[in-house]
Amino acid sequence: MSTTLTKTDAAYQLCMSPQCAATFGIDEILTTCPECGNLLDLSYNWDQVAVPSSLRDFEARWSTRTNPLDFSGVWRFRELIPFAPEDKIVTIGEGQTILQQSDRVGQFVDVNSGNLHLQYEGLNPSGSFKDNGMTGASTHARMMGAKAAACASTGNTSASLAIYASTAQLFEVVVFVGSGKIAFGKLSQALDFGAKTIQIQGDFDDAMAQVREVCGQRSIYLCNSVNPFRLEGQKSTIYRVLEGLNWEPPDWIVVPGGNLGNSSAFGKALRELKELRLIDRIPRMAVINAAGANSLYELHEERGLRWNNGDVDDALIESFYDEMDRAERRASTLATAIEINRPVSLKRCLRALAITDGVVRQVSDEQILDAKAQIGGGGFGCEPASAASVAGAKQLRAEGVIAPSDRVVCILTGHQLKDPNATVAYHSSEAGAIDAKLSDAGVDSVAFPNRPVPVENEIEKILEILD
């Protein structure tokens, strides 16, 4: 099946393991390498692609935004994601997202004025960064003539796949979610966009295992981030971050880590930009786990697991997972989007950490929710998982790993309205009276609540409160 011929194509699939390095055409639907079982990447012969000589050249596309490909915040960088014929691209205007400086959040993190930036991916059509990748996966599904597509999800991937399928009307969609903690905003999206929604009695990892099996048995196109075409679209967040900084790389990019697709895509994007000499320096990346779902943190920071030029210590990973199973430890966090035990892109993320001289941290639900309230107070609503980035940046600053003079970009991955229950529970709490949803999760204090004030329907009473 593997053929060296594909290495001469402009784009081909390449096993991520340098020790295997098997190659496959982009006209094959694969989610793992048939030779060694590792994940696949897209690889390009850049000399066959008309890559602009400067990132600034992409700015010209702002003036041709009536072309849907130039309007898309993913495909206006299409020479850096060059796998699709233009007439096959499925786009719904994803990636219209912005980088914003926030001194309010900067003060909270404790970096110098002007140095804290938020990349607000919640502005995507389905309200999360997943659309950046789903346009890539949907495009490849279309290239392959897929009739049905599926994913497992903690909520946002399913909402994203559902919106693409309903807009493009090219394939049927089935999404698998755990029956536990999917936030209602996300579940409601999958239902409203008409996706067949299967709630498995189990968590994300159970849903992930089942969807892989189902896709194999029924020849359904799998849209989880094991799919290398999805990760190609997710590289675009990095391009937009750089664009927002006038093409000057920041010192740090801080991103929440769940299934680890996003951080993996960021590492690949940065490596490619450096190889193409479009940037001269690679920023450091910090991947932030929720403490209740901290497999990457445990493996990378506590047990020293490294990419090691592709020679990853599989036995260490397996023994860690066995230990988790024996202790019956399952991921549990109010940041439900990242409540994942066995991240499928673990090794890709290790590679990204090696490329970026990266670090991993874990933050508690309390830290996450306090950071979320600060982000909201600064005018950028986000869901709990997203706020892990700001909480992580604050922690790294307190440790002295991030300096006050560093330029820091935190990725806000999902919109505030995805999980209003978490927001209301936080703001309704006070010392000694923490909302049950929060206290059940171990949160016993809230630093920045903004409680609704109950009042009788009488003008004097209302004015009393305002005085």
List residues near ligand F0G by CB under 6 A. 128, 130, 153-157, 225, 256-263, 337-338, 383, 385-386, 413-414
- Residue number, 362 or 386, with CB nearest to ligand F0G: 386
CA–CA–CA angle 264, 267, 269 (5° rounding):
110
Contacts of 5 (CB under 8 A, 6+ apart): none
Provide, rounded to whole angstroms, the least separation between the CB of residue 158 and ligand F0G: 7
Provide, rounded to whole angstroms, the least separation between the CB of residue 339 and ligand F0G: 9
- Residue number, 278 or 411, with CB nearest to ligand F0G: 411
Contacts of 58 (CB under 8 A, 6+ apart): 52, 76, 77, 239, 243
Provide, rounded to whole angstroms, the least separation between the CB of residue 378 and ligand F0G: 18
The number of C-alpha atoms within 13 Å of 238 and in the hemisphere containing its C-beta is 32
- Residue number, 125 or 256, with CB nearest to ligand F0G: 256
Provide, rounded to whole angstroms, the least separation between the CB of residue 114 and ligand F0G: 26
Task: For residues 247 and 263, give the distance between their C-alpha atoms in angstroms, rounded to a whole number.
Answer: 20
Cβ atoms of residues 154 and 336 within 8 Å? yes
Provide, rounded to whole angstroms, the least separation between the CB of residue 5 and ligand F0G: 32
DSSP per-residue codes, 73-112: TTGGGGGGSTTS-GGG---SSTT--EEEE-HHHHHHHT--
Provide, rounded to whole angstroms, the least separation between the CB of residue 207 and ligand F0G: 9
Cβ atoms of residues 436 and 428 within 8 Å? no
Q: Based on the number of CB atoms within 10 Å of its own CB, is 112 exposed (0-12), middle (13-18) or buried (19 or more)?
A: middle
Could you give the 3-state DSSP secondary structure of residue 189? helix
- Residue number, 72 or 386, with CB nearest to ligand F0G: 386
| The dihedral sign for the CA sequence 231, 236, 237, 241 | positive
- Residue number, 23 or 389, with CB nearest to ligand F0G: 389
- Residue number, 22 or 411, with CB nearest to ligand F0G: 411
- Residue number, 55 or 410, with CB nearest to ligand F0G: 410
- Residue number, 185 or 250, with CB nearest to ligand F0G: 185
Provide, rounded to whole angstroms, the least separation between the CB of residue 297 and ligand F0G: 13
Task: For residues 224 and 208, give the distance between their C-alpha atoms in angstroms, rounded to a whole number.
Answer: 8
Provide, rounded to whole angstroms, the least separation between the CB of residue 222 and ligand F0G: 13
Contacts of 248 (CB under 8 A, 6+ apart): 242
End-to-end CA distance of the chain: 76
Task: For residues 374 and 381, give the distance between their C-alpha atoms in angstroms, rounded to a whole number.
Answer: 9
